[in-house]
């Protein structure tokens, strides 16, 4: 069975920005052996490195970060910063771009994307603690447009903050937009028009579905209730009290000039995203230094109303994307080695960011300037759970080439490694897609017969007659034979 990624939180389904990833069996059976790169090779790598540095230590994290950047080419620079009770430490590696010699630092600004949702959820918790709203207030009570319900069950504010509203990832008018800056120009009027035109296929609160759309509506509801723009509420209630002067929805020209350069997986420079009315879901820019101040709400014994609101976020629990993960307000919650961890991540503008906290103990912020499905999430989690395995085995840089449709069509069909282990190759656009169960992975051509999966060090090599292919991963080879 092919699995897309080993998620750092060991969850079955989760959202990484706008990307779904799945984790499966890490066993050594034939099917388990086909777990995708990180799942297949992390254990050996983690055990070997454990002899060199204590897992989760500063030295260990520094070596792993260097490996992710230098050996796996997942960006030009990255950073992991840790907040512990009255202490902090940071490791950083590489530069802010391919053209610059400037190193990544605590003060390097970047777009934090979906980490913004934790700020929005905290604003909800704060408003609830002040008695301005209740978590079970209906969304319809605060918006001047028709809001969908399902068989009498209304969307409530807690549904929005736990990805349980039944609303999709994107608003209807943005579903078909490119993944490159899909929300550019999205206005408040667009948001109102979209919610008025939306219908639900299930009851709110009944299931997890990651939704930028839902968090945008949560921000709109808070703005309507408090009579102020979302940006003003954010500044007055979080950014100013915490002295987060480098954090903003609208960074200055000077700050934009200092942003770390993000990249796609071919090192093509990416532009920052414009979230417009979806800013409560992903519009913030910040620095690691500022985010450490934010994480201190959970790691330090502050006796302030805002710190209490932060702690209260974890009292709400809803079903998460899998049996091992629950949703608090904003945070995904897992239990690891006897303690509760909350985490979130975000992708935007070619940067992948991760933030996690063990309430009352420590927190971590990590990012790298390439938008991948794993980023440095697994390295960040290793700080809080040293048993978390991380793979930094070298991945070669590969360059994709175009192939004519006649060549691509030759390879479509279903192939089997075993009777219960099938993979299907299909056409999509001007390329091929490998399908295994619910997973769909794009294949990129390096030659007429050799293809690779861009995310990790995995190749698929067809024979000349397209009757078989060899799936190579983590030094192992698996022969699949055409069945149809």
Average pLDDT of the residues of the chain? 89
- Report the pLDDT value the prediction gives residue 51, as an integer from 0 to 100: 56
Same fold, 110-384 and 405-482: no
Pair of tokens at residue 426? 């299909």
Separation CA 75–CA 90 (nearest Å): 18
pLDDT exceeds 70 at position 355: yes
The predicted model gives 72-97 an average pLDDT of 95
- Report the pLDDT value the prediction gives residue 178, as an integer from 0 to 100: 66
Domain boundaries, the chain: 110-384, 405-482
- Report the pLDDT value the prediction gives residue 354, as an integer from 0 to 100: 98
Confidence of residue 12 (pLDDT cuts 50, 70, 90): very low
Superfamily of domain 110-384: DD-peptidase/beta-lactamase superfamily (3.40.710.10)
pLDDT exceeds 70 at position 449: yes
3-state secondary structure the chain: CCECCCCCCCCCEEEECCEEEECCCCCCCHHHHCECCHHHHHHHHHHHHCCCCCCCCHHHHHHHHHHHHHHCCCCCEEEEEEEECCEEEEEEEEECCCCCCCECCCCCCEECHHHHHHHHHHHHHHHHHCCCCCCCCEHHHCCCCCCCEECCEECEHHHHHCCCCCCCCCCHHHCCCCCCCCCCCCCHHHHHHHHHHCCCCCCCCCCCCCCHHHHHHHHHHHHHHHCCCHHHHHHHHHHCCCCCCCCECCCCHHHHHHCCCEECCCCCEECCCCCHHHHHHHCCEECHHHHHHHHHHHHCCCCCHHHHHHHHHHHCCEEEEECCEEECCCCEEEEECCEEEEEEEEEECCEEEEEEEECCCEEEEEEECECCCCCCHHHHHHHHCCCCCCCCCCCCCCCCCCCCHHHHHHHCEEEEEECCEEEEEEEECCEEEEEECCEEEEEEECCCCEEEECCCCEEEEECCCCCEEEEEECCEEEEEEECC
Rounded percentage of the chain residues whose pLDDT exceeds 90: 81
pLDDT tens, position by position, 232-256 = 999 999 999 999 999 999 999 999 9
Answer left, alpha or beta for residue 349, where phi above 0 means left and psi between -120 and 50 means alpha: left
Out of 3.30.70.270, 1.10.260.30, 2.40.128.50, 2.60.40.10, the CATH code matching 405-482 is 2.40.128.50
pLDDT exceeds 80 at position 172: yes
Report angle CA 424, 426, 432 to the nearest 5 degrees: 115
- Report the pLDDT value the prediction gives residue 4, as an integer from 0 to 100: 39
- Report the pLDDT value the prediction gives residue 50, as an integer from 0 to 100: 42
- Top-confidence residue, 178 or 338: 338
pLDDT exceeds 90 at position 428: yes
Q: Are 6 and 34 in contact (CB under 8 A)?
A: no
Which range has the worst mean pLDDT, 155-159, 256-260, 435-439?
435-439
Separation CA 218–CA 279 (nearest Å): 11
pLDDT exceeds 70 at position 8: no
């Amino acid at each position: 069975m092919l699995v897309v990624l080993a998620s750092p939180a060991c969850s079955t389904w989760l959202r990484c920005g706008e990307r779904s990833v799945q984790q499966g069996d890490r066993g050594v059976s034939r099917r388990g052996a086909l777990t995708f790169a990180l799942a297949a090779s992390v254990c050996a790598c983690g055990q070997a490195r454990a002899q060199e540095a204590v897992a989760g230590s500063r030295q260990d994290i520094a070596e792993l970060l260097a490996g992710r950047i230098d050996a796996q080419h997942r960006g030009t620079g990255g950073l992991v910063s840790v907040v512990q009770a009255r202490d902090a430490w940071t490791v950083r590696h590489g530069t802010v771009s391919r053209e610059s010699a400037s190193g990544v630092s605590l003060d390097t600004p970047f777009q934090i994307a979906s980490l913004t949702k934790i700020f929005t959820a905290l604003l909800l918790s704060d408003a609830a603690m002040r008695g301005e709203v209740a978590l079970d207030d209906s969304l319809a009570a605060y918006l001047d447009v028709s809001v969908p319900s399902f068989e009498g069950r209304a969307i409530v504010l807690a549904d929005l903050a736990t990805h349980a509203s039944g609303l999709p990832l994107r608003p209807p008018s943005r579903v078909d937009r490119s993944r490159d800056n899909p929300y550019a120009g999205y206005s408040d009027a667009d948001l109102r028009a979209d919610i008025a035109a939306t219908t639900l296929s299930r009851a709110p609160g009944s299931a997890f579905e990651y939704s930028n759309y839902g968090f945008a509506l949560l921000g709109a509801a808070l703005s309507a209730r408090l009579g102020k723009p979302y940006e003003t509420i954010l500044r007055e209630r979080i950014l100013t009290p915490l002295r987060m002067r480098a954090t903003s929805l609208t960074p200055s020209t000077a700050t934009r000039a200092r942003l770390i350069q993000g990249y796609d997986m071919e090192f093509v420079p990416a532009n920052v995203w414009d979230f417009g009315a979806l800013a409560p879901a992903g519009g913030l820019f910040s620095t690691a230094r500022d985010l450490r101040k934010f994480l201190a709400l959970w790691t330090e014994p502050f006796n302030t109303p805002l710190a209490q609101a932060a702690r209260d976020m974890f009292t709400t629990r809803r079903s998460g994307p899998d049996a091992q993960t629950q949703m608090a307000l904003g945070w995904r919650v897992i239990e690891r080695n006897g303690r509760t961890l909350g985490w979130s991540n975000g992708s935007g503008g070619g940067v992948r960011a991760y933030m996690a906290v063990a309430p009352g103990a420590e927190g971590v912020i990590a990012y790298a300037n390439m938008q991948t499905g794993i980023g440095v999430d697994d390295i960040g989690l290793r700080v809080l759970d040293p048993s978390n395995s991380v793979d930094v085995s070298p991945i070669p840089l590969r360059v994709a080439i175009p192939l004519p449709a006649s060549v691509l069509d030759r390879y479509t069909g279903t192939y089997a490694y075993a009777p219960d282990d099938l993979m299907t190759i299909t056409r999509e656009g001007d390329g091929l897609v490998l399908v295994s169960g619910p997973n769909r992975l794009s294949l990129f051509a390096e030659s007429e017969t050799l293809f690779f999966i861009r995310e990790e060090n995995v190749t698929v090599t067809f024979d000349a007659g397209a009757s078989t292919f060899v799936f190579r991963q983590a030094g192992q080879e698996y022969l699949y034979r055409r069945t149809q």
